[in-house]
Amino acid sequence: MFQLFVKGGPIMWPILCTSIVALTVVLERLLFIVRERFKRQPRVVGEILAKVEAGDFNGAVQVGAGSQDFVAATLVYALENRDKSVSEALLRAANWELKRFNRGLAILDTVITLAPLLGLLGTVTGMIHSFSLLGGAELGAPQAITGGIAEALIATAFGLSVAILALLPFNYLNARLEEARQDIQDAASHLELYLVKRAPNRASETLETARV
């Protein structure tokens, strides 16, 4: 492997750097996904929504206050800021949580695009060097030219390998991001629905109090 790396030319070093960056990001993101799965508490989210449906907003906040579930944290933030705008609070909290899931994906996307281009650049420069032998003193050694072309293709092979290996976790992480978005949207829709149901009751209670 080391001999192939050396034969690939100097462009192999940038390709190696991109592979190290991709591996670091993938490992960090996978650990993040595992931690978030352990923090999930669907029961707490259900209790929050049940208390909101019953009109116990303070109780709902207390239930989710200590939870590390990202869905519960979004609902709690929205309930704490319900006097201003529930929709804006939900949107803001959801953006905060989804930003954590989206971290590092731009780097992986760049690696997937950059690695094959670096490999192609290494192949082009290698072939330029090989064909330059046609005008030199080594014209009688065609094996040197064909060997140089074969070595030039090593860079493309490595670049494509890095891109392919980075693409698989990239798609997986994107799927987890979309899953988190759907979980937040589902809980947020239930919360807004329950708040809308409570709105007429609150209006009637306010009217009765004003009559008294």
> Closest by alpha carbon to 186, among 38, 63, 55, 70?
70
CA 2 vs CA 5, 95, 154: distances in Å: 5, 45, 12
In a domain? residue 210: no
| Most confident of the ranges 10-14, 141-145, 208-212 | 10-14
In a domain? residue 163: yes
The C-alpha atoms of residue 93 and residue 124 are separated, in whole angstroms, by 48
Q: What would the mean pLDDT of 127-141 be, rounded to a whole number?
A: 62
The C-alpha atoms of residue 150 and residue 117 are separated, in whole angstroms, by 18
Q: How many structural domains comprise the chain?
A: 1
> Closest by alpha carbon to 188, among 92, 100, 103?
92
In a domain? residue 212: no
The pLDDT of residue 100: 94
In a domain? residue 22: yes
Can you spell out the DSSP letters for 115-166? HHHHHHHHHHHHHHHHHHGGGSTTTT-HHHHHHHHHHHHHHHHHHHHHHHHH
The sign of the dihedral angle between the CA atoms of 128, 133, 139, 141 is: negative
Mean pLDDT of the chain: 83
Torsion, Cα of 35, 36, 37, 40 (10° steps): 130
Reply yes or no on whether the pLDDT at 183 is more than 60. yes
The pLDDT of residue 155: 86
In a domain? residue 23: yes
Q: What would the mean pLDDT of 150-171 be, rounded to a whole number?
A: 89
Q: In this prediction, what percent of the chain has a pLDDT beyond 70?
A: 81
Q: What would the mean pLDDT of 27-33 be, rounded to a whole number?
A: 96
> Closest by alpha carbon to 8, among 136, 189, 162, 139?
162
Q: Which residue has the higher pLDDT, 9 or 14?
A: 14
Q: What would the mean pLDDT of 34-49 be, rounded to a whole number?
A: 93
> Closest by alpha carbon to 41, among 3, 76, 8, 16?
76
In a domain? residue 160: yes
The boundaries of the domain holding residue 70 are 9-205
In a domain? residue 1: no
CA 184 vs CA 75, 94, 109, 204: distances in Å: 9, 7, 25, 31
Q: What are phi and psi of 56, to 5 degrees?
A: -95, 80
Q: What would the mean pLDDT of 149-161 be, rounded to a whole number?
A: 84
Q: What would the mean pLDDT of 13-23 be, rounded to a whole number?
A: 94
Q: What would the mean pLDDT of 138-142 be, rounded to a whole number?
A: 53
In a domain? residue 56: yes
The pLDDT of residue 199: 61
